[in-house]
């Protein structure tokens, strides 16, 4: 038997894995723990079970689509640790290796998959609030979900004492430099809200996540539009995945007066061009335009936003601001009784 606990690295994932092991032990099961990343989780768990002759509590950090497919096909019961992705990004940060841009990018790219996993029938979603504020109730729910015998309250109370505590843990904003807080909040804050049970809101991709054509640096300085070749891409990125559905991306730019009269093209790309829009520069200052596109469930590719200038020797400068990405909710109502009657009469139905 393999007991799956999926989620991002951090305190909550450790809490869930340890909770499953304690519950299994209380039910007389001989268990061993295993950690794995991605689709290798299934193979690693099987090897552990064969080697140790025990059931396995598998902590699958950074699950991938292979593991998602396996869980969807088998309809297996599993625990999904819905930790705050902003805290997961701070856990990844390493001053000598992974910076906050890389950490936020990595976590943002796994969040849509975690959302998909949370919708599977075999998932039991556990949040930080569940584990820290209601540990007894959460332990009872985990036991029932994984098919163990009913866990008594006094047993759950004893287990809760031995589980990892997050008392004294700093908030994500205390661990992130002021200059990086907008980036982390913009890329991950909406997912944190969804993981806590609220609708997915707007994501903001800041300029640090993008690249300038030519030197591949972030577009934190004005970009000279002069002496460009036809159709040149000025800015591109951030190569982040999005959940499936309808999306609107608002691209915010600043342009100098010399660029008035020029036309920019904004593209949303994911393997293929999903949508494009033209922006005619009618005045200097802050300008914006939107592109609307659809992410198919089977697409599973990062999204790229491109800013393209289409004329040679275009004068002026461009300052890249950010991209606001919003899920579009489509409403399809039946209409009022009067509206329906009018249409039926017009169609002679």
CATH number at residue 61: 3.40.50.300
Residues 165 and 207 in one domain: no
Which tokens go with 302?
């990062």
Between the alpha carbon of residue 62 and those of residues 67, 107, 234, 241, the distances in Å are 10, 9, 33, 14
Average pLDDT over residues 214-222: 85
Residues 128 and 265 in one domain: no
pLDDT in tens, 109-151: 999 999 999 999 999 999 999 999 999 999 999 999 999 888 8
| Beta strands 78-82; 2-7: pairing state | parallel
Average pLDDT over residues 286-315: 85
Residue 306 has pLDDT above 60, yes or no: yes
Residue 338 forms part of a structural domain: no
Residues 210 and 84 in one domain: no
Average pLDDT over residues 224-230: 68
State the residue range of the domain holding 230.
202-327
- Exposure string of 85-124, with b = 16+ CB inside 10 Å and e = fewer, is bbbbbbbbbeeeeeebbebbbebbbbbbbbbbbeeeebbb
Residues 167 and 290 in one domain: no
* Residue 95 pLDDT level (bands cut at 50, 70, 90): confident
Residue 36 has pLDDT above 60, yes or no: no
Residue 334 forms part of a structural domain: no
**Matching residue, tokens 């539009």:** 225
Tell me, what's the pLDDT at 329? 74
Q: Which residue has the higher pLDDT, 179 or 48?
A: 179
Residues 169 and 220 in one domain: no
Residues 24 and 127 in one domain: yes
Tell me, what's the pLDDT at 62? 82
Residues 286 and 211 in one domain: yes
Residue 206 forms part of a structural domain: yes
Tell me, what's the pLDDT at 160? 94
Average pLDDT over residues 318-329: 93
**Of 36-45, 60-69, 238-247, which one has max mean pLDDT?**
238-247
* Residue 41 pLDDT level (bands cut at 50, 70, 90): low
Tell me, what's the pLDDT at 284? 85
**Matching residue, tokens 């300085």:** 221
Residue 149 forms part of a structural domain: yes
Torsion over CA: 38, 209, 204, 295 (sign): negative
Residues 66 and 210 in one domain: no
Range with lowest mean pLDDT among 64-68, 125-129, 230-234, 310-314 = 310-314
- Exposure string of 324-341, with b = 16+ CB inside 10 Å and e = fewer, is bbbbeeeeeeeeeeeeee
Tell me, what's the pLDDT at 60? 83
Considering the chain, what is the average pLDDT of its residues? 86
Tell me, what's the pLDDT at 85? 95
Residues 156 and 213 in one domain: no
Domain end point (choices 155, 173, 191): 173
Domain end point (choices 173, 189, 221): 173
Number of domains in the chain: 2
Residues 226 and 152 in one domain: no
Residues 147 and 220 in one domain: no
Residue 322 has pLDDT above 90, yes or no: yes
Residues 83 and 216 in one domain: no
SS (H, E, C) 213-224: CCCCCCCCCCEE
Residue 142 forms part of a structural domain: yes
Tell me, what's the pLDDT at 28? 81
Beta bridge partners of 5: 59, 79
- CATH code assigned at 210: 2.60.120.260
Average pLDDT over residues 146-158: 89
Query: Cβ neighbours of residue 125 under 8 Å, at least 6 residues apart?
Result: 80, 82, 118, 195
* Residue 344 pLDDT level (bands cut at 50, 70, 90): low
Tell me, what's the pLDDT at 193? 92
């Amino acid at each position: 038997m393999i007991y799956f606990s999926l989620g991002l690295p951090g305190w909550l994932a450790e809490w869930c894995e340890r909770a499953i092991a304690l519950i299994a032990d209380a039910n007389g099961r001989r268990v061993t723990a295993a950690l794995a990343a991605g689709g290798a989780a299934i193979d690693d768990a099987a090897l552990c079970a064969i080697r140790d002759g025990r059931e396995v509590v598998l902590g699958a950090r950074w699950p991938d689509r292979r593991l998602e497919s396996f869980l969807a096909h088998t309809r297996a019961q599993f625990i999904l640790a819905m930790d705050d992705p902003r805290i997961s990004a701070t856990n990844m940060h390493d001053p000598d290796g992974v910076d906050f841009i890389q950490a936020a990018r990595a976590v943002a790219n796994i969040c849509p998959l975690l959302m998909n996993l949370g919708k599977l029938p075999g998932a039991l979603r556990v949040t930080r609030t569940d584990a820290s504020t209601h540990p007894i109730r959460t332990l009872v729910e985990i036991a029932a979900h994984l098919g163990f015998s009913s866990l008594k309250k006094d047993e759950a109370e004893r287990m809760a004492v031995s589980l990892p505590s997050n008392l004294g843990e700093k908030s994500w904003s205390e661990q992130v430099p002021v200059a990086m807080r907008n980036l982390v909040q913009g890329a991950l804050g909406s997912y944190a809200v969804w993981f806590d049970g609220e609708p997915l809101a707007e994501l903001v991709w800041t300029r640090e996540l993008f690249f300038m054509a030519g030197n591949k640096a972030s577009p934190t300085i004005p970009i000279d539009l002069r002496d460009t070749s036809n159709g040149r891409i000025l800015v591109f990125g951030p190569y982040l995945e999005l959940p499936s559905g309808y999306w609107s991306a608002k691209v915010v730019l600043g342009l100098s007066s010399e660029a008035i009269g020029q036309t920019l093209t904004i593209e949303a790309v994911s393997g293929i061009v999903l949508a494009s829009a033209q922006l005619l520069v009618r005045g200097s200052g802050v300008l914006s335009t939107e592109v609307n596109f659809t992410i198919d469930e089977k697409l599973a590719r990062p999204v790229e936003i491109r800013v393209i200038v289409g004329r040679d020797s275009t004068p002026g400068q461009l300052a890249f601001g950010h991209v606001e990405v919003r899920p579009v909710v489509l409403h399809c109502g039946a209409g009022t009784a009067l509206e329906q009657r009018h249409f039926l009469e017009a169609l002679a139905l």
